[in-house]
Chain A
Amino acid sequence: MTEWLHMGFMQNALAAGILLSIVLAVVSCFVVLRKFSFIGVGVAHSAFGGVALGALIGVSPTVSAIVFAVCVANAIGVVGNQKRLSADTAIGIFFSLAMALGIIFIGLSNTYNVDLFGYLFGNILAITHQDILIIAVLGSLVLASIRLFFKELLFVAFDSEVAHVSGIPVMFLDHFFLTILALTVVISMKVVGIILVSALLVIPGAAAAQITDRYGAMFAVAIAVALFSTIGGLCISYYADLASGATIVTLASLIFFVFFGIGKWLKGKG
């Protein structure tokens, strides 16, 4: 039963998956609390444009994806803050623009030396020790910086206007968080894929929110949900020969629905 754990690529995938679970879970809690779910979708898809740009100009897709996604995330932040344009509209436009540019870049590059399919859907067979190192370093950076601004981010998510009045730099924190969101997307690409990473930027936090009413508990439950679905999803995908990213997201969604039901039941009782 533990045979899957002895495969080299599985060990890499598992190591990467466990590190990512924690990062994605913590980020997803703030995504849910700050109501940034759709921004997560937009930023994730914009990473595709970055990967394609890397393929075109011959730089590492990770590097170009980071630059591209961070720029798009912050552009969404700037445009979404304008009164004339709702944030949803801004995201819709930026995310289709980034995808369109990605398709143009692929057409121009004419090379198939980059496994675009792997970036879109995730490919755990391709995870290298270097990838794990990148995930570990950038993931720790993301977690440490969230720790640094934890209570400020919480206040901004709860009531940004009062937070601003009390002296908290709301604009800075929003852009800071969007940057972190972009970094998280990029380090998750190879494991879960660009298409599905936005799901994991929402589901762990959303599932945890169903059954908790304290923020500390919400973060703990979200991490547990992400770890369980990643480890379980990798294991199931190995034995059932399914796509790993899709299996992880399906499992996480199932947990969400179960927690949703439990949450309803708890509220009905109390």
Chain B
Amino acid sequence: MTACQIMTSPEPDILVDISDVWVRFDGKWVLKSIYLKCYEGEILGIVGPNGGGKSTLLKVILGLIAPIKGTILLFGQKPGGQARLNVGYLPQISHADRSFPVTALDVVIMGLYQQMGLFTRFRPRHRQAALEKLEQVGMADHADKPFGVLSGGQQQRVQIARALVSDPRLLVLDEPSTGVDSVGQEDFYELLAGLRDSLQRISVIMVSHDIGVVTSHADRVACLNREIHYHGETDSDMDSDIHQKVFGRNLKVMVHDARCVSCNMRHVDHD
């Protein structure tokens, strides 16, 4: 046993800890008793049907939606405060407008605004950092193009670069591969794995409809259809003992296979 292994604590840091979270929209429960943890240095996939509450869950984690009940800890703190400075976010639906007069590089630099402080304009090092991220997502050649003339998939890549540019500890990505071609997707998942395995041990929470993509690239998967249906490591069946220890007693575990058939079904309204 090496020194390194002795020093590593058996329980890795918990970046996100959600317990018993309930969210309701217009009288309908969208999230019901959600328990979920995300550890340092892991890629956590969230899959589920349309309307299953995946985007809502991410917004709860980011402090954009306050739950009716339950607690969320982001780096051990309530979301919304200082904690969010360590998060890079890629929304599912971008509100960005095609006619907005910014270049791809400008968009990435926005991810650094909060670090720059008031009054200051960006400096060469900010520009450099933004260019590096554009390089990583294969968009360096388009840095000076207006954001609006880029294709949907190219805009998606630019927004991924913006999520990465502040060197966050946690990436929250809502359908990151939408519109990105298959070559781009392979590069993208390789990039995520690289970040996870880097010294910073970055964690990724990634939502996708594509169960195949998630099972091949995520370390653990949660299936969300208003409730969490299956939650475990992608390649091993989870012992229910460990399951309860890791995810809490109140987690409803529904037994089904790892391809998660029930998540492919339409959600049922339980109200």
Contacts and interface: CB of A to CB of B under 8 A. Distances in A.
A158 interface: yes
Interface stretch (A20-28, A42-50, A207-215): A207-215
B118 interface: yes
Given A168-B113, A213-B101, A214-B102, 19 more contacts: A154-B110, A158-B97, A158-B100, A159-B95, A161-B95, A162-B91, A162-B159, A162-B162, A163-B110, A164-B64, A165-B89, A166-B85, A166-B110, A167-B84, A167-B114, A209-B99, A209-B101, A213-B148, A215-B102
5 contacts: A35-B97, A158-B97, A166-B111, A214-B101, A214-B103
Contacts of B116: 151
Interface in B160-190: 162, 166
Given A148-B119, A151-B121, A155-B113, A165 B64 contact: yes
A159 B94 contact: yes
Contacts of A161: 64, 91, 95
Contacts of B85: 166-167
Given A213-B148, A215-B102, A159 B96 contact: yes
B84 A158 contact: no
B155 to A, nearest CB: 11
A156 B116 CA distance: 16
Contacts of A214: 101-103, 146
Interface of B: 62-64, 82, 84-85, 87, 89, 91, 94-97, 99-103, 106-107, 110-111, 113-114, 116, 118-119, 121, 146, 148, 159, 162, 166
A87 interface: no
Contact of A213 (B89, B91, B114, B146): B146
A149 B118 contact: yes
A166 B89 contact: yes
A158 B102 contact: yes
Interface in A183-241: 209, 212-215, 217-218
Contact of B119 (A147, A158, A166, A218): A147
A204 to B, nearest CB: 14
A162 B94 CA distance: 9
Q: How large is the interface on A (under 10, 10 to 19, 20 to 34, 35 or more residues)?
A: 20 to 34
B108 to A, nearest CB: 12
Contacts of A123: none
Contacts of A163: 110
Nearest to A35: B97
A217 B64 CA distance: 33
Contact of A158 (B82, B87, B107): B107
B216 to A, nearest CB: 28
A52 interface: no
The winner among A162, A164, A213 for most chain B CB atoms within 10 A is A162
Interface in A123-182: 147-149, 151-152, 154-155, 157-168
Nearest to A166: B114
Contacts of A158: 96-97, 100, 102, 107, 110
